[in-house]
């Protein structure tokens, strides 16, 4: 039996309303936990809010509220947003709860009586004098100032001198270094691991465990005049939720014997990867198995900030696209772990292309034909169909591959492979043209094609359930499926659907979004078979195709599939980002003459501008660029 798995997000500070930065981490955690549950693994998912500190007290006073009333108000905005996104957390921890206070005081008592290997007290009292930024809620050095101000909050820090209790971090850094280097505590991605090891080499000083001046916090059990410093308070939430102070049986299961995974953004790396492990070592508690730190992201190429007005409220996205499509759009913008750009302007385009046209259109076309041609019942399978064996093989291997991606935090790979199967099935359906077979009296073959497509839809409903739980249950209801077969084992077998089971179809699973109805976005592509989406010849005439010669090519850092190309299109030289690296390494594509769409609006991909798209043909996993004979010059128009 695999270990129970315990996955946490950071707890979110109540001075901010939820935005897509908060939502992204929490949706990733929800995806991971749902996937592990599909494999019948015992799993627990924790999120919550960080509610103490002087900044919260000041904000509450400015709002004319008590501290707890202010916190209650903001906490509800997070809970509402998480409910709107269909997040399946098991515990929402609040640092103002009695349960958490009990947990913090227990670990502080443990640390207060602990000794290092050399016999020194782990916690000691001393005076600290330095520059304190209220916005950061930490002391900062002169070197960190820009023009005498905190670089983050553009405010001159106060000079404070106060009695604090300190944690003897230096005593634990050698052990932490060993655990990280040997991956006993795995820090991912590898770049973050190198960053943490670099910090250890900088001779970090001991850190403050308490604050004398901060009253909105948890008092130290051994000195009521001091409050636990915000990071000690906040980090302890992970063991609070596991039952550290109030449920020893649960704590043994989830923390001591379970696999613990912390998810967070890289800005809180030092506290999670050094301070927290040191505290756990000193308290004689097990360390997390994995810390995964995802990157920062921009929105349409710009840093997300209140001042720019480009912070996206996840509730607004849900109102436009629905909970499931919002989850899908945020999860597929860029690979987990890297810095990336959220293409908010293309949300509608991607929704219509991936969900309405590819997946939604497959479901509607197949089920409508079952209703019309098979009396609304799943037909019998039929093996003698061209292309069926290949489709079956791609389907049956997908569950194992997808779960492997998830266990290695390759979220976009797991989702992308399922969408590739959807597209392969659309092609299988189109190539076999079942609408013709009924007229020709080939009912067995017609039924076999429809059965195979229904089987793929069934498997897809399992593998995309962690991404879009509500819509996948909707698709399963269309096929008369319940939750008893909603697991990865069921996704590994073909011919699982029972012939004769009733199907029904009322409305599209993913209705197309009109451009004017989307808060951000453009019109999407169309899938064949949807007559409402056929282009007029004058519209197609707007597409400008040109021959381009690839002058230079290099990989985009942190992206396995992307190349940055410098191309000559005759009238000018420009840069294009293309997802062809798996098929065309840089040395192979240099010098090739390819076909590009030359009149697209510039797009920012992974923070790099791209002006154009390459044409390619794809069958299964094989991709081939459309190339041009050498005697046709760069810049030649294709019509």
Would you call the peptide bond into 383 cis, given omega within 30 degrees of 0 as the criterion?
Answer: no
Quick one: 471 exposed, middle or buried, by C-beta within 10 A (0-12, 13-18, 19+)?
A: buried
Asked if 12 and 76 touch (Cβ cutoff 8 Å), the reply is no
For residue 104, what are the contacts with CB-CB under 8 A and spacing of at least 6? Answer: 218, 228, 232, 233, 236, 240
22 is catalytic: yes
Asked if 8 and 48 touch (Cβ cutoff 8 Å), the reply is no
**Options 306, 368, 436, 588, the catalytic residue:** 306
Determine the Cα–Cα distance for residues 263 and 602; give it in Å rounded to an integer: 33
306 is catalytic: yes
Determine the Cα–Cα distance for residues 131 and 129; give it in Å rounded to an integer: 7
Three-state SS for 299-317 is ECCEECCCCCCCCCCHHHH
161 is catalytic: no
**Options 115, 154, 161, 303, the catalytic residue:** 303
52 is catalytic: no
150 is catalytic: yes
For residue 162, what are the contacts with CB-CB under 8 A and spacing of at least 6? Answer: 127, 128, 211, 212, 213
Over its C-alpha atoms, the chain yields an Rg (Å, rounded) of 28
Structure tokens given for 431: 């190539």
| Cβ count within 10 A of residue 150 | 20
Determine the Cα–Cα distance for residues 162 and 214; give it in Å rounded to an integer: 11
Asked if 373 and 495 touch (Cβ cutoff 8 Å), the reply is no
Determine the Cα–Cα distance for residues 179 and 589; give it in Å rounded to an integer: 42
**Coil, strand or helix: which one is 540?**
helix
- DSSP of 601-631: PPEEETTEEE--EE-EEEETTEEEE-B--TT
**Coil, strand or helix: which one is 638?**
strand
133 is catalytic: yes
**Options 52, 71, 101, 133, the catalytic residue:** 133
Determine the Cα–Cα distance for residues 617 and 624; give it in Å rounded to an integer: 5
Determine the Cα–Cα distance for residues 485 and 456; give it in Å rounded to an integer: 14
- DSSP of 326-392: HHHHHHTSS-TTS-EEE-GGGHHHHIIIIIIIIIIHHHHHHHHHHHHHSTTB-----S--TTHHHHH
Q: Where are the alpha helices (DSSP H) in 408-480?
A: 411-432, 434-439, 443-463, 469-478
**Options 150, 273, 453, 454, the catalytic residue:** 150
**Options 91, 136, 163, 345, the catalytic residue:** 136
DSSP 135: T
**Beta strand pairing status for 259-265 and 290-294?**
parallel
91 is catalytic: no
Half-sphere exposure of 555 (CA within 13 A, CB side): 11
Place of tokens 């756990």: 280
303 is catalytic: yes
Q: Which residues are catalytic?
A: 19, 22, 133, 136, 150, 153, 303, 306
């Amino acid at each position: 039996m695999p270990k129970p798995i315990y996955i946490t997000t950071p707890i979110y500070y109540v001075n901010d309303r939820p935005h897509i930065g908060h939502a992204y981490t929490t949706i990733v955690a929800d995806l991971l936990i749902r996937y592990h549950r599909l494999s019948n693994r015992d799993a627990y998912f924790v999120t919550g809010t960080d509610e103490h500190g002087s900044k919260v007290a000041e904000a509450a006073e400015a709002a004319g509220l008590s501290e707890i009333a202010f916190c209650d108000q903001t906490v509800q905005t997070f809970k509402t947003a998480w409910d709107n996104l269909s997040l399946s957390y098991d515990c929402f921890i609040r640092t103002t709860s009695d349960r958490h206070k009990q947990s913090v005081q227990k670990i502080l008592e443990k640390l207060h009586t602990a000794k290092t290997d050399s016999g020194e007290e782990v916690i000691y009292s001393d005076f600290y004098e330095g520059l304190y930024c209220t916005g950061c809620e930490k002391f900062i050095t002169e070197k960190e100032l820009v023009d005498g101000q905190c670089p983050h909050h553009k405010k001159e820090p106060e000079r404070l001198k106060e009695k604090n209790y300190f944690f003897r971090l230096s005593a634990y850094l050698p052990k932490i270094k060993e655990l990280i280097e040997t991956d006993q505590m795995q820090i991912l991605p590898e770049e973050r691991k190198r960053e943490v090891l670099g910090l250890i080499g900088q001779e970090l000083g001991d850190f403050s465990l308490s604050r004398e001046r901060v009253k909105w916090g948890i008092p130290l059990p051994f000195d009521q005049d001091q409050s636990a410093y915000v990071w000690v308070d906040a980090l302890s939430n992970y063991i609070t939720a596991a039952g550290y102070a109030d449920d020893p049986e649960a704590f043994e299961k989830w923390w001591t014997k379970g696999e613990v995974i912390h998810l967070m953004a890289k800005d809180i790396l030092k506290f999670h990867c050094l301070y927290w492990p040191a505290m756990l070592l000193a308290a004689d508690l097990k360390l997390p198995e994995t810390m995964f730190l995802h990157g920062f992201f921009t929105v349409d190429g710009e840093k997300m900030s209140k001042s720019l007005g480009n912070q996206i409220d996840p509730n607004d996205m849900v109102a436009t696209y629905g909970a499931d499509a919002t989850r899908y759009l945020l999860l597929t913008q860029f690979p987990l772990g890297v810095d990336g750009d959220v293409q908010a302007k293309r949300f509608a385009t991607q929704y219509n292309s991936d969900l309405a046209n590819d997946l939604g259109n497959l479901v509607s076309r197949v089920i409508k034909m079952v209703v019309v041609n098979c009396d609304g019942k799943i037909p019998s399978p039929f093996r003698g169909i061209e292309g069926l064996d290949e489709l079956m093989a791609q389907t049956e291997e997908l569950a194992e591959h997808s779960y492997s991606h998830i266990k290695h935090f390759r979220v976009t790979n797991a989702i992308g492979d399922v969408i590739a199967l959807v597209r392969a099935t659309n092609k299988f359906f189109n190539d076999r043209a079942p609408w013709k077979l009924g007229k020709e009296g080939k009912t067995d073959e017609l039924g076999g094609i429809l059965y195979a497509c229904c089987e793929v839809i069934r498997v897809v409903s399992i593998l995309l359930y962690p991404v879009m739980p509500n819509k996948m249950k909707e698709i399963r209801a269309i096929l008369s499926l319940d939750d008893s077969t909603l697991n990865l084992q069921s996704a590994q077998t073909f011919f699982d659907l029972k012939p004769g089971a009733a199907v029904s179809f009322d409305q599209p699973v993913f209705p197309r979004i009109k451009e004017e109805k989307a808060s951000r976005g453009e019109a999407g592509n169309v899938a064949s078979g949807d007559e409402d989406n056929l282009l007029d010849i004058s519209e197609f005439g707007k597409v400008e195709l040109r021959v381009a010669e690839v002058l230079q090519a290099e990989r985009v850092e942190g992206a396995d599939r992307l190349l940055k190309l410098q191309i000559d299109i005759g009238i000018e030289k420009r840069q294009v980002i293309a997802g062809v690296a798996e098929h065309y390494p840089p040395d192979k594509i240099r010098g090739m003459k390819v076909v590009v769409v030359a009149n697209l609006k510039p797009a920012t991909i992974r923070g790099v501008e791209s002006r154009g798209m390459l044409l390619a043909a794809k069958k299964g996993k094989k991709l081939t660029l459309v190339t041009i004979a050498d005697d046709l010059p760069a810049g030649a128009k294709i019509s």
